[in-house]
Structure 1
Amino acid sequence: MAKPGDKDITLPFPILVGDIGGTNARFALLIDAMAEPKQFPIVQTADFANIDDALQAAILDKSSIQPRAAILALAGPIQGDEVPLTNCDWIVRPKEMIEKLGFEDVLLVNDFEAQALAIASLGDADREQIGAGEEKMAQSRVVLGPGTGLGVAGLVHAQHTWFPVPGEGGHVDMGPRSERDYRIWPFLEPIEGRISAEQLLCGRGIMNIYRAVSAADGKEAPLETPAAVTSAALAQTDAVAVETVSLFCGYLGRVAGDMAMIFMAKGGVYLAGGISQKILPALRGPEFRAAFEDKAPHGAMLRDIPTFVVTHPMAALAGLAAFARMPDRFGVATEGRRWKS
């Protein structure tokens, strides 16, 4: 494991980069600092008992080039030599990976740390701006990702270096503001007595809002999945689904504006993940940006901050690859998160 004060953050090529979530695991191989990442087919975590079996079968057995190092982004806190994932049964054991799979160097980071690394260098082709605001190139940024949960990370720029700041911002409190909110809120499902942002802004959050809207109006709630709700909303075939996605966009704008103020994110706020991409037509509407800017007494400041939807299909892998190529550009903490042979 990395020693306190260890400043050598360069990993040996070839480097395997991985983005491991609750359902899917995505991997790519970076042969050297100049090469484009070679992507492998997406792995379903349920198909393998553990990450070692998945890596052996899906990567190592399929490539003539064996990676010497691995940088893995995990959906969960990284503590100790055994790291369980939050939403799947895998436990990542870097010492065993080194012993059994032949890695020399393993670095674990938070999944939204990888998203933060990505937004340091996304070009116009990999993002779409929502609303007004002007990007300040060397200013701090924020990334939010509604998915299985709600991930949040900051990206602070200081001393010519980008510092990713992972955290649990998705669990901040949410409260009602509008008259409609006050009608809906009693029907929302809380978590241990409170409504957090994640209770609204993720896949199950879409269903939470949908059922609450239906209950508040005394209507049936026949749609059973987040995909069904978002599809019906975008197709304008279900009035409750349309309102659900409209509210979702507004609530996402509220949280995004809060995070922009916390990090003074004049470099922009980025929405990552599959849900943001799927509901992009709705995010282009007025609800998201209006809620983002509605931050008296700092509305003028928020109006100047740009917001983007990340459209890159493998943004986290791109962020890890950027770090692997140029680690000195980023202030990634390795102590307690790096293992060497």
Structure 2
Amino acid sequence: MAPRRKPDTFLKFPILIGDIGGTNARFAILKDAFAEPKFFDNVETASFASIDAAIQECVLDQTSVQPKSAVLAIAGPIDGDELDLTNCPWVIRPKGMIADLGLEEVVVINDFEAQALAISAIGDGGRAEIGNGIHREGASRAVIGPGTGLGVAGLVRARNMWIPVAGEGGHIDIGPRTERDHAIWPHLATVGGRISGEQILSGRGLVNLYNAICKSAGKVSDCQTPAEVTRAAEAGADPQAKEAIELFSIYLGRIAGDIALVFIARGGVYIAGGIFKRLLPLVDHARMREAFEDKAPHTHLMSEIPLYVITEPQPALAGLTAFARSPRFFGLETTGRHWKA
């Protein structure tokens, strides 16, 4: 048996891994480079005043393992020593975490950088394909995820490393194309007078779309939450809810196709997040794939690009784990995002 390769991580084990979203936070501890991560129960961010309190009660108080390092993925920009989350009142203070939680160092990256790290290694067992494409193993990839907001990131291959490219692609404009779109668009709620992808392709965006469909039909909205819209569509009792799900998937296909063109993502575009996994049984795959490919004059190129739905239960944590074990395989910039005691 060949000897195990010496781990090349620059972080000290055990490592606390965290995926901090607008609504939920997920944590695990990696004891060493060869161990499987120990996962903890999901945390609702609204239930805790701070991330420090959540980590203390939901992780450290539940194990005898004391992490020396932390790698956190957050839904928000990383600038300075106090990091605000886009859709959550928590403020991440890495220096305070080091002082109060017994950590020696903290690395913080964007949440969709973590999703990008994850798609470097997700195989057939962790993804479901929509339509047919030609998967090219070393080619650029992209990930898009409807959730509390709409996250987007790219993953490019260079110098034998996967390099995640984060951004705010969820805030690109989305406009009407069909006659039906033009009937719905005037009723959509806007931000600053514009409709971004996130205004439709997120949890609140699904409700926004449903309300607009109801208004266009002169109907009263019966659903107030994404879960209610989904249940109404599943029950078949609300035609506006059913149409909202159908159009949500078509518009997601359109923007996923746009992102595919931005990155020339011949390795595939991956859809992340729990919202779309829940909607998947209600989606017309053929119509969504058609919307994805409808990018003249590049229809032929788009027909070759795979479109996947991530079915891996904890993809961001899987991506962070891969990075913590072997950072040399990833061109992840940590300057200004790595704090030490």
* TM category, shorter: over 0.9
2:333 and 2:197 map into 1 onto residues whose CA distance is: 27
1:147 and 1:291 map into 2 onto residues whose CA distance is: 21
The aligned runs of 1:230-309 (5 Å cut-off) are: 230-309=230-309
Q: Deviations over 1:146-198 (max 9, x none)?
A: 01110000011111110011100000011110011111111111110111111
TM-score (norm 2): 0.95
**Paired residue for 2:127?**
127
Secondary structure of the residue that 2:11 maps to in structure 1? coil
Displacement after TM superposition at 1:118 (Å): 0.5
Displacement after TM superposition at 1:9 (Å): 6.4
Displacement after TM superposition at 1:284 (Å): 4.8
**Are 1:113 and 2:113 counterparts?**
yes
Q: Deviations over 1:109-133 (max 9, x none)?
A: 0011111111110121111111010
Aligned residues: 334
**Paired residue for 2:89?**
89
2:247 and 2:284 map into 1 onto residues whose CA distance is: 14
The aligned runs of 1:129-208 (5 Å cut-off) are: 129-208=129-208
2:134 and 2:284 map into 1 onto residues whose CA distance is: 17
Displacement after TM superposition at 1:21 (Å): 1.2
Query: What amino acid is aligned across from residue 176 of structure 1 in structure 2?
Result: P
Displacement after TM superposition at 1:337 (Å): 0.3
**Identical pairs, percent:** 58
Secondary structure of the residue that 1:114 maps to in structure 2? helix
Displacement after TM superposition at 1:235 (Å): 3.3
Q: Deviations over 1:93-122 (max 9, x none)?
A: 111111121111100000111111111101
Query: What amino acid is aligned across from residue 100 of structure 2 in structure 1?
Result: K
The aligned runs of 1:218-233 (5 Å cut-off) are: 218-233=218-233
**Paired residue for 1:100?**
100
1:286 and 1:33 map into 2 onto residues whose CA distance is: 42
- Consecutive unaligned residues of structure 2, counting only runs of 5 or more, are 1-7
- Asked if the contact 2:246–2:284 (Cα under 8 Å) also holds between the matched residues in 1, the reply is no
- Asked if the contact 1:132–1:304 (Cα under 8 Å) also holds between the matched residues in 2, the reply is yes
Q: Which runs of 4+ in 1 moved over 4 A?
A: none
Q: Deviations over 1:72-105 (max 9, x none)?
A: 0001001101112122221111111111211111
Displacement after TM superposition at 1:26 (Å): 0.6
- Asked if the contact 1:234–1:281 (Cα under 8 Å) also holds between the matched residues in 2, the reply is no
Secondary structure of the residue that 2:79 maps to in structure 1? coil
**Are 1:340 and 2:340 counterparts?**
yes
Displacement after TM superposition at 1:288 (Å): 1.2
Report the more deviating stretch, 273-282 or 315-324: 273-282
Displacement after TM superposition at 1:56 (Å): 1.5
1:113 and 1:90 map into 2 onto residues whose CA distance is: 20
Q: Deviations over 1:200-249 (max 9, x none)?
A: 10011111111111111112211121111122223322111111111111
Query: What amino acid is aligned across from residue 41 of structure 1 in structure 2?
Result: D
1:291 and 1:231 map into 2 onto residues whose CA distance is: 25
Displacement after TM superposition at 1:61 (Å): 2.0
1:259 and 1:282 map into 2 onto residues whose CA distance is: 24
1:271 and 1:284 map into 2 onto residues whose CA distance is: 15
**Are 1:209 and 2:209 counterparts?**
yes
2:286 and 2:235 map into 1 onto residues whose CA distance is: 18
**Paired residue for 1:42?**
42
1:183 and 1:59 map into 2 onto residues whose CA distance is: 49
Displacement after TM superposition at 1:58 (Å): 1.6
Secondary structure of the residue that 1:67 maps to in structure 2? coil
- Asked if the contact 1:162–1:330 (Cα under 8 Å) also holds between the matched residues in 2, the reply is yes
TM-score (norm 1): 0.95
**Paired residue for 1:5?**
none
- Consecutive unaligned residues of structure 1, counting only runs of 5 or more, are 1-7
- Asked if the contact 1:163–1:330 (Cα under 8 Å) also holds between the matched residues in 2, the reply is yes
- Asked if the contact 1:249–1:282 (Cα under 8 Å) also holds between the matched residues in 2, the reply is no
**Paired residue for 1:322?**
322
- Asked if the contact 2:148–2:204 (Cα under 8 Å) also holds between the matched residues in 1, the reply is yes
- Asked if the contact 1:253–1:292 (Cα under 8 Å) also holds between the matched residues in 2, the reply is yes
Query: What amino acid is aligned across from residue 195 of structure 2 in structure 1?
Result: I
Query: What amino acid is aligned across from residue 52 of structure 2 in structure 1?
Result: D
1:44 and 1:295 map into 2 onto residues whose CA distance is: 39
Q: Deviations over 1:273-331 (max 9, x none)?
A: 01111011234532211100000000000000001100111111011001001100101
- Asked if the contact 1:130–1:283 (Cα under 8 Å) also holds between the matched residues in 2, the reply is no
**Paired residue for 2:31?**
31
1:30 and 1:128 map into 2 onto residues whose CA distance is: 27
Secondary structure of the residue that 2:277 maps to in structure 1? helix
1:122 and 1:272 map into 2 onto residues whose CA distance is: 12
